[in-house]
A and B are shown apart, each in its own frame.
Chain A
Amino acid sequence: MQDSSVMSPADIRRAVTRIAHEIVEHNRGTEQLVFVGMLTRGVPLAYRIARAIAEFEGEQVPVGTLDIGLYRDDLGERGASVNIQPSQMPDIAGKRVVLIDDVLYTGRTVRAALDALIDYGRPERIQLAVLVDRGHRELPIRADFVGKNIPTSRADDVQVRLEETDGEEYVRVAAVEEAEAFR
Chain B
Amino acid sequence: MTTMRPLETRAAEAAAPFAAPGAEEGAWRRRHLLDLDDFSVDELDFVMRTTDAMKEVLSREVPRVPALRGTTIVTLFYENSTRTRSSFELAGKVLGADVINVSASGSSVTKGESLVDTVKTLQAVGADVLVMRHNRSGAPYLAARHAHCSVVNAGDGLHAHPTQGLLDLYTMRTSLGDVRGKRVVIVGDVLHSRVARSNMWSLTALGADVTVCGPPTLIPAGLGRDTEGRLPPVRVETDIDRAIEGADVVMTLRMQLERMHGGFVPGAREYSRLYQVNAARLGLAKPGALVLHPGPMNEGVEISHEVAHGLQSHVEEQVQNGVAVRMAVLWLITRGAGAKPARAAARGSL
Contacts and interface: CB of A to CB of B under 8 A. Distances in A.
A87 B55 CA distance: 10
Contacts of A69: 53, 67
Interface stretch (A4-12, A44-52, A95-103): A44-52
B47 to A, nearest CB: 11
B14 A73 contact: no
B65 A70 contact: yes
Contacts of B60: 119-120
Interface residues on B, range: 35 or more
B89 to A, nearest CB: 18
Given A85-B17, A119-B60, A60 B344 contact: no
Which of A48, A65, A84 has the most CB atoms of chain B within a 10 A radius of its CB? A84
Given A63-B1, A88-B1, A70 B66 contact: yes
B66 A71 contact: yes
A76 B55 contact: no
B25 A86 contact: no
A163 B56 CA distance: 27
A165 B13 CA distance: 11
A97 B344 CA distance: 33
B280 interface: no
Interface string B16-31: 0111000111111000
A51 B24 CA distance: 30
B14 A37 contact: yes
Nearest to A84: B53
A164 B335 contact: no
Interface string A29-62: 0000000010110011001101100100000101
Interface residues of A, number: 44
Contact of A81 (B1, B26, B49, B347): B26
B15 A43 contact: yes
Contacts of A160: none
Contacts of B8: 51
A69 B65 CA distance: 10
Contact of A60 (B4, B49, B332): B4
A157 interface: no
B141 interface: no
B53 A71 contact: no
A67 to B, nearest CB: 6
A70 B328 CA distance: 11
Interface of A: 37, 39-40, 43-44, 47-48, 50-51, 54, 60, 62-65, 67, 69-71, 73-77, 79-91, 111, 115-116, 119-120, 164-165
Given A70-B57, A79-B25, A165-B15, 5 more contacts: A85-B49, A88-B1, A111-B350, A115-B66, A165-B18
Interface of B: 1-2, 4, 7-8, 10-12, 14-15, 17-19, 23-28, 46, 49-50, 52-53, 55-57, 60, 62, 64-67, 95, 331-332, 335-337, 339, 341, 343-345, 347, 349-350
5 contacts: A44-B14, A70-B57, A84-B50, A85-B17, A88-B1
